[in-house]
Structure 1
Amino acid sequence: MPFTPFHFGPGLALKGIIGRHMSFSAFVVANVAIDIEPLYYMLRNDPPLHRELHTAIGAMLLAVGLMLLWLLLRAGISRWGGRYRQRWLRGLSSSTPWAVWLGLLLGCGTHIALDSLMHLDMAPYAPFAGGNPLTGWISIAQLQWACLMAGIAGLPMVYLRSE
């Protein structure tokens, strides 16, 4: 999908269902981080665009790396955040580690699943299997419509849970 926006729809639906047990911010970070890979190869004009991070193993390793980065940031914020009185920094440490971890895993996992349906250059099961057997199961328009509808359905659920 063109740099992530449609991926947020299923994330809103998941947040509406799971509630405080999933960090939507972590979900968004995972989706943006994973798309740095195709952006890099696109800027270099070096296909295929979807490589290591767009495999199940690569995506899970990215989630682990992002979680470790979050833990380091959280430790630093709790140590120095109060000294600088930056509200946005303290906000990073407000989610529980479990909610962040679940948001990262679901963000990476759904990203690979959705991209597998539309990008032929992916090999989501590498190194165990080559190619992408999932491409074409659904049209790109149908996939984008489903993501949009998931987001529209998720918004009121997130709102109702926040009250």
Structure 2
Amino acid sequence: MPFTPFHMGTGILIKALLQGSFSLMVFGWSQIVMDLQPLWVLLNGHGHLHGFSHTFIGGTLLAVVSALTGKYLSEFGLIILRISKSSQPIKISWLVAFISAFVGCFSHVILDGIMHSDVQPFYPISLSNPMLGYVSVANLHKFCLYTGLIGAAIFYVVQWRNRKPNTYEPPAGQ
């Protein structure tokens, strides 16, 4: 199904491990971009559900699109969510945007390749899908859920450890 939240689990773990060297916003945007083609097929009933977008060649093209658009959308989104201040905005470097988009698109091809029989990840070289059924769908969902939970825990522990200590000192004599 398009826009599954399960894909975000791997992104959350990678964000926790790489912190500022990875953009979860760009990663998430790439997940949406990857599933626009299947959504189109579901809406109009024509085409290959997991078609060209779910190949490594299609994923590469969509990673470039996701990085180019996702950098600016994510920076704007961080301001709207008040994670970033318009006076001191968080800037996502181009390197981080491209790494995040490529990890997002390639992990999407791999995860969907394991789960969906119509994915042809190596098209046009091969129409086969050697990843299909590598693990059960239930275990794949558990993997995505657990990586997300572990990633969230790691992220918040790192944030807690890196927080600035309270530097307030009361005036002398109080």
C-alpha distance in structure 1 between counterparts of 2:107 and 2:68, whole Å: 20
Give 1:17-32 correspondences, 5 Å limit.
17-32=17-32
C-alpha distance in structure 2 between counterparts of 1:36 and 1:52, whole Å: 11
The alpha-carbon deviation at position 43 of structure 1 amounts to 1.1
C-alpha distance in structure 1 between counterparts of 2:30 and 2:55, whole Å: 14
Q: Which residue of 1 aligns with 2:169?
A: none
Q: Which secondary structure does the structure 2 equivalent of 1:115 belong to?
A: helix
Greater share of helix: 1
C-alpha distance in structure 2 between counterparts of 1:130 and 1:92, whole Å: 45
CA change 1:92–1:24 in 2 (3 A) is: farther
The answer on 1:102 being equivalent to 2:128 is no
The answer on 1:128 being equivalent to 2:125 is yes
Asked which structure has the greater RCO (Cα within 8 Å, sep 6+), the reply is 1
Question: Normalising to structure 2: TM-score of the pair?
Answer: 0.79
Q: Unaligned stretches of 5+ in structure 1?
A: none
CA-to-aligned-CA distance 1:16-55 (integer Å, 9 cap, x gap) = 1111100010000000110111111011122520111100
Q: Which secondary structure does the structure 2 equivalent of 1:117 belong to?
A: helix
CA-based RMSD: 2.4
Structure having the higher Rg: 2
Give 1:12-161 correspondences, 5 Å limit.
12-70=12-70, 73=72, 87-88=79-80, 90=86, 94-161=91-158
C-alpha distance in structure 2 between counterparts of 1:93 and 1:20, whole Å: 10
CA change 1:36–1:55 in 2 (3 A) is: same
C-alpha distance in structure 1 between counterparts of 2:18 and 2:101, whole Å: 14
Query: 4+ runs of 1 displaced by more than 4 Å?
Result: 89-93
Aligned length: 153
Give 1:1-12 correspondences, 5 Å limit.
2-12=2-12
Q: Unaligned stretches of 5+ in structure 2?
A: 163-174
Aligned residues of 1:23 and 1:95 also touching (Cα < 8 A)? yes
CA-to-aligned-CA distance 1:39-94 (integer Å, 9 cap, x gap) = 110111225201111000110111112223346x48xx9xxx9xxxx943959862
